[in-house]
Amino acid sequence: MDKKVELLSPAGNFEKLKIALEYGADAVYGGVSHFSLRIRSSKEFSYESFEEAVLYTHKKGKKIYVTINGFPFNSQIPLLKKHIEKMTKMNPDAFIISTPGVVRLANKIAPHIPIHLSTQANVMNYLDALVYSEMGVKRIIVAREISLKDLKEIKKHIPDMEFEIFVHGSMCFAYSGRCLISSLQSGRVPNRGSCANDCRFPYTLYAKNEDNGALLKIEEDENGTHIMNAKDLNLSSYVDEILKSKVVDSLKIEGRTKSPYYVAISTRAYKMAINDFYNGKFDPKKYENELLSTKHRGFNDGYLVNRPHQKINSQNIQESISEGTHQVYALVTEDGEFFMAKDKVEPEVEYEIVAPIDSKIIKCENETGSIYEKDDVFYIKLKKIESKNKKTYEAIHSGNTNPIKLPCKLPVYSFFRKKIKEI
């Protein structure tokens, strides 16, 4: 049997890392704030907590890749060397790197740590791929603009190279993140990890007559003014086509700055798609429905299976963010005995339970509440809301940090949710 494809999920902090692993990720990626393209999320990790995360991941039998994918200035190179040395001692499974110079530096400092070339390197053809192969790169995360046809051609020339593709998450308005808008407007440099996402903002357009200086406002119409706001990538319906190609080794989900629920559901949906493909039960609608429950900007299938000129709906010009079909109300704690409120939770209200794949939910009923099943879906309804320290509430809100007792144990990191709109 062919080697099974890897599912790679974002680890924006330790909790999200644990959730990704529970929901089916084979590997996770993350880092500390130094030299990462997600400074905001990477600040969630210190060197100490990231080392703990590496140990935790390996104890689970999974892999963890370190993001060192920023673009350093000359003045930062001494610090970069020290950073690579520190991360090397943690023994991660790979470094994710964007530039040739840093690839060479990492190979010199840590020749035993595999190098995964970041999508920021923009590999689109076998000539570039061969150069990085000769430099010792073990895996290439290809440019998001590449087609599956072109990837197959690269694989022909470098059959031993591993290839990774993005299958889900935010898309950049620019070419693989090569954008200067954030730098221009706020001094925050996208390719050094501090993008302000200026492409998501609403803009008012003006037309200027250069002869007389007249400035005319272009009035907004029903389409709004979010002219640079790219829809989110969603290739769940094409997982079967991707895996049939036999040229992809890892499916990557974007989203280190996104919510724990997003990490859980996106990982769960793609794990189902992968498992169903290998079991001959592929069902695109099932994965699409799950992913629609997360917050998104509208979905688009990117460039892997269709070319840009073949579609004109890659931008969401109405708004920069949209609600998913479901609202999240609670997250079950790591011990499985309590939950933390993420929205207002009330007694005698029915909430759907979403749990990791292959986990077991036990039905029960007692003075605290009940857990039951309807139409192959599990639900919870509380009779009372009682905290770990025995305090009772009429309702519990997200601002309350007290763990709330469950009627009986649930799988760790299960979520409570309710549908708020139809598809």
**29 versus 230: which is more confidently predicted?**
29
Confidence grade of residue 251 (pLDDT, cut at 50, 70, 90): very high
Looking at the fold, whether 54 and 144 belong to one and the same domain comes out as yes
Looking at the fold, whether 277 and 139 belong to one and the same domain comes out as yes
245 lies in a domain? yes
pLDDT score for 193:
59
- Whichever domain contains 406, its CATH number is 2.40.30.10
pLDDT score for 313:
64
Last residue in a domain, options 244, 279, 310: 310
Q: Is the pLDDT of residue 401 over 70?
A: yes
Looking at the fold, whether 336 and 194 belong to one and the same domain comes out as no
pLDDT in tens, 74-120: 999 999 999 999 999 999 999 999 999 999 999 999 999 999 999 99
- Whichever domain contains 66, its CATH number is 3.20.20.70
Last residue in a domain, options 218, 237, 271: 218
Mean pLDDT of 26-35: 90
108 lies in a domain? yes
Looking at the fold, whether 164 and 56 belong to one and the same domain comes out as yes
Looking at the fold, whether 214 and 237 belong to one and the same domain comes out as no
Mean pLDDT of 351-359: 96
88 lies in a domain? yes
Q: Is the pLDDT of residue 7 over 70?
A: yes
How many structural domains are present in the chain? 3
Looking at the fold, whether 132 and 170 belong to one and the same domain comes out as yes
If one counts every other C-beta atom within 10 angstroms of the C-beta of residue 186, the result is: 12
Looking at the fold, whether 110 and 211 belong to one and the same domain comes out as no
Q: Is the pLDDT of residue 35 over 90?
A: no
Looking at the fold, whether 197 and 330 belong to one and the same domain comes out as no
pLDDT score for 276:
98
pLDDT in tens, 129-186: 999 999 999 999 999 889 999 999 999 999 999 999 999 998 776 666 666 776 667 7
pLDDT score for 65:
98
Give alpha helix (H) positions in 209-334: 239-245, 260-278, 284-291
Please report, for residues 93, 100, 116, 233, the alpha-carbon distance to residue 165 in angstroms, rounded to integers and kept in the order given: 18, 20, 12, 12
pLDDT score for 221:
59
Looking at the fold, whether 247 and 121 belong to one and the same domain comes out as yes
Looking at the fold, whether 171 and 286 belong to one and the same domain comes out as yes
pLDDT score for 319:
61
Domain that includes residue 403, residue range: 326-419
Looking at the fold, whether 304 and 166 belong to one and the same domain comes out as yes
Looking at the fold, whether 264 and 353 belong to one and the same domain comes out as no
